[in-house]
Structure 1
Amino acid sequence: MSSYQPRIAIIGAGPAGLTLGVLLHKHGIPFTIFELRQEPTEEELLKPAGSLDLHEESGIAAIKECGLLEEFASFTGDCTEADRVCNMYGDLLYADEGELAKRPEIARPKIIKLLLSNLPASSIKWGHKLMSVKASGLSDPAETELDFGEHGKDTFDLVIGADGAWSRVRALLTEEKPHYAGMYIITLDIRQIASRHPRLAEWIGTGSLQCLGNRHGICTQRSMQGSARIYIFISVEDEHFAATSGLNKKTAAQAKEQLLCDNSLFSLWGSMIKELVAAACDDESIYKPGQTIDIKPLYTLPVGYTWEHHLGATLVGDAAHLMNPPAGQGVNLAMKDSLMLAQAIIKAHAIVDQDPALFRGTLDTLITDFERNMSVAAKEIADMTMKINDIQFGSDDAATVMANFFRSCGES
């Protein structure tokens, strides 16, 4: 029996990287996950956050393959599957209290906690900033060299970039970079909303709410610790809007007046929506005194782009196919990528003991197939995401279009 074990590096400890790690660990395949951030504390994993709705054919399929479906179910429930759509004046145009949806919601920190709890602590190297990636050019051109700066350099048989929008691993495979998507997002939280703001809590409901109009959006999700997460989407051609508007230097309290008094933003919106934004800005000021508001531009990769296959490296998730978040497809596609890639690695690993020399060739062929299949699936989802984004933000009366879209989905 051969003692050969492939050296596998996974860059990024988000849902994609952790899902891949759990699947490989389940099959006894060694790997190391390298993550820029420090290990999250229990307190950090309990903070308010956005919720992710997992789909049966992707996110849930990966959870099932990890053997975690029962445990996963115990982590859900902070946000129901209810959906509401309002226009910019706060008028309710559509409501589904969860009867039509079959996609369980889970807070992002909880899925991270679930996956982390099923990985050996020794398999993750926290606080490792990847400086560069290159073909090693040493004993074997298939090896990929990773430079972690103060943590040194190392080589691997396979490097998987699960390192998000600005992936360092992607730079080894392609010169393609994300481009500005024409939109900014501001993220806020209201803690203990039911007890502190009962009228707002009843209005937004137990699941998700979208208020759409003038090509902007204010969307909410119920989340952990009785909180509500507020996303403010601003359509603007200026890629540097945060700086030119001055919002990037303001606290939430300071930004509140600008957001609610500027006609090009939300001054013309309904009273309940403005009350919601004001409450969120005030809450952020209490819990994050002195911090500037969380405002970021959104970026995407070109739909359908591909890279020339490179022996020894590949990508999953946002590193491979970055899309706008409002359609909620990112985590599902990322976890499906990890499931498909794990299946390829497991299949190649099964022949190692029979003939280790065949491992790399077999793995290379399987990963080539994986990348081809991933590209096809990603293009289909990206096309759908662009369609939904256009529905949400493509017209001044997007709420009516979105409500009609939801109704058509319920009828099909």
Structure 2
Amino acid sequence: MPFQPRIAIVGGGPSGLALGLLLQQRGIWPTIYELRCKPTPEELAKPSGMLDLHEESGLRVMRECGLWDGFQAAVGDCSEACRVLNPQGTVLHTDEGELAYRPEIARNALTNLLLKNVSSDFVKWNHKIEAVRHIHNAATGATEIALDLGDKGTAIHDFVVGADGAWSRVRKLLTDIKPFYSGAQMMTVTLRNASTKYPHLLELNGSGTLHALGGGNGIMTHRGPQDSIRVYAVLKTPHENWTNAAGLEGRTAADVKMALLGDDKLFGKWAPPLQDLLATACDEDTKDNPNRPADILPLYMLPIGCRWGSSTGATLVGDAAHLMTPWGGEGVNMALWDSLDLARAIGEVPEVESAAAWQKALGPRVREYEEAILVRAQEKAEETLKNMNLFLSENGGQAMADMFKMFEEMATAGELPKREGDGSG
């Protein structure tokens, strides 16, 4: 009887779930371990970050997974329209998404779509991976991978995929490379029922995304589920622990609002409509989440071009492999693309009769997969870093507007390349 490999996917985000589904379609049944509890329908209906999926990556995976109809039904809360402003509120650029087809889907909606199609029998929620280690099986000659699950014991697998994000436990099995602070912080707040409660802010935002940039800072928004506007306040600072340095540790978004709008180096001199948008979102977010500390996170990235040595029985996908900042809209797209390529590599292994033979056949395929994803990740990470430096510059809004103008001119001349991301996905 052919050998059936024990495959673990650590992480139940979009890349882990997509990989699980793609393997299931090939008759391979992995176990997916996720730290979080299983989300409820109510949780999945809440506003979340919007993801713009790209033709060569995210959209292709939706088709490969057989989810195209479900995907199309799940989009629509945020259009592809884009506005770019400077801190004075001057509109520098508008478009309706005509430069590229990049439909927006809420992260929660994408997760829900994948969960509906992945066999629930193979998803283990509320499982924290304490450590990952190699074990040599003297009887079979295979290299087994042990997942230490704390009080839930130890799980043994023949192959483990790290889809466990920025601070991946699986990555530690392959390399000691760690993410580093990129120099920017991002606060996320949300206001719901915008059409009825704040029509003037909806008019400012538009039906899609808004990017107000300048002075090294930014206010970025997008529409979302529950008639929401999700607002991101971004600031460039050398202080990795900025919330602590600013005395904002544990404070609500409504409290943080005062620090952001009261500092002329941040948003103190921005146009009143933009200040109103940020202030209202902070207040509404605090009303919806009383006493919850503001969602402020330092943005991290892995060194561009980093590599790791091959290791029997393990590899990485998504942020675990090539974490980058959001300024190219590439994170989830690269992760989904990784999952597609890895599923194909695993599915191409011929039938064998032992774990050792299966690992031997898989090894060169995984190395080829890793080289391919790291080459393209380096290109995207370089673009993303370039965008971050441009958009968080003194005249960031103008820099973004100039980029879009270049694309428009190239489109008119019939020379439009793949559009670089604007950070909205």
CA contact (8 A) 2:99 2:407 kept: no
Q: Distance in 1 between matches of 2:408 and 2:28?
A: 43
Distance between the aligned counterparts of 1:285 and 1:239, measured in 2?
24
Q: 1:25 to 1:372 in 2, by over 3 A?
A: same
Q: Which deviations, in whole Å up to 9, do the C-alpha atoms of 1:74-119 show, x marking residues without a partner?
A: 0100111111100011110000022223011100000000000001
Match of 2:272? 271
Matches for 1:340-379 after TM superposition, within 5 Å:
340-348=341-349, 351-352=350-351, 358-379=357-378
2:230 aligned with 1:229: yes
Partner of 2:91: 92
SS at match of 1:279: helix
Shift of 1:354: 8.1
Aligned to 2:383: 384
Supply the distance in 2 between the matched residues of 1:369 and 1:10 (Cα, whole angstroms): 19
Cα deviation, residue 248, structure 1: 2.2
Letter in 2 for 1:20: L
Query: Match of 2:304?
Result: 303
**Does the 8 Å CA contact 1:248/1:295 hold for their aligned counterparts?**
no
One of 390, 407, 410 as aligned partner of 1:409: 407
Equivalent residue number for residue 152 of structure 2 = 151
The structural deviation recorded for 1:58 is 0.4
State the one-letter code of the partner of 1:331: V
Q: CA deviation at 1:4?
A: 1.9
Q: Which string of whole-angstrom CA distances, capped at 9 and with x for unpartnered residues, describes residues 325-375 of structure 1?
A: 132110000000000000000111xx1158876422121110010001111
Give the secondary structure class of the aligned counterpart of 2:332: helix
User: Would you say 1:79 and 2:72 are equivalent positions?
Assistant: no
Cα drift, residue 250 of structure 1? 1.3
Q: Aligned pair 1:176/2:150, yes or no?
A: no
Given that residues 352 and 358 in structure 1 are in contact (C-alpha distance below 8 angstroms), is that contact kept between their aligned partners in structure 2? no
Secondary structure of 2:256's aligned partner: helix
- Matching residue of 2:283: 282
- The percent identity for this pair of structures is 45
In structure 1, list runs of 5 or more residues that go unmatched. none
Deviations 1:263-298 (A, max 9, x none): 121101111110001110110121011111111111
Q: Could you say if the C-alpha distance between residues 355 and 138 of structure 1 is closer, same or farther in structure 2, counting changes exceeding 3 Å?
A: closer
Give the aligned residue type for 2:322.
Answer: H
Report what 2:329 is aligned to: 328
The aligned amino acid for 1:256 is: K
Cα distance in 1 for partners of 2:348, 2:11 equals 23
Number of residue-to-residue matches in the alignment: 408
Please say if residues 142 and 355 of structure 2, whose CA atoms lie closer than 8 Å, have aligned partners that are also in contact: no
Deviates more, 1:13-22 or 1:351-360: 351-360
Q: Give distance in 2, aligned partners of 1:354 and 1:7.
A: 14
Contact 1:144 1:312 in 2 (8 A): yes
Listed as ranges, the matches of 1:242-253 within 5 Å are 242-253=243-254
Amino acid paired to 2:296: I
The TM-score with structure 1 as length reference comes to 0.97
Change (3 A) 1:308 1:332: same
Answer yes or no: is the 8 Å Cα contact 1:135–1:141 preserved in 2: no
CA distance in 1, matches of 2:166, 2:323: 6
C-alpha distance in 1, partners of 2:26/2:136?
30
